[in-house]
Amino acid sequence: MVRLMQTAVGRRTAVAFTTPEQLASVLGPEQLAVRLSLSALRAMLTPLGLAEVVVDPQLTARPVADGSSAAAPDLIRSKVERP
């Protein structure tokens, strides 16, 4: 499984981290990971039509803690209804 994110301008991208500490600082200590070369990651992205990889991203939105936020359904619904 490859984790995809969106850039600030809305493009889908994969993320990669150079150290386990960098990964934990951005996505949290519970985030599971596997070591891949950049070429292996790009090979996984190609069938998805993606080429962009952001290495060591600094800014990310925090995940919803338990999924019970009242705002979450509105966000999901707005993405589905967007023309």
Contact indicator for 15, 6 with CB cutoff of 8 Å: no
Number of structural domains the chain divides into: 1
Other Cβ atoms within 10 Å of 14 Cβ, number = 20
Domain of 19, in residue numbers: 4-81
Residue 27 phi, psi (nearest 5): -110, -5
19-49 confidence digits (pLDDT tens): 999 988 888 888 888 898 989 999 999 999 9
Concatenating the DSSP letter of every residue in 11-65 gives -EEEEE-SSHHHHHHHH-TT-------HHHHHHHHGGGT---EEES----PPPPS
| Whether pTM exceeds 0.75 | no
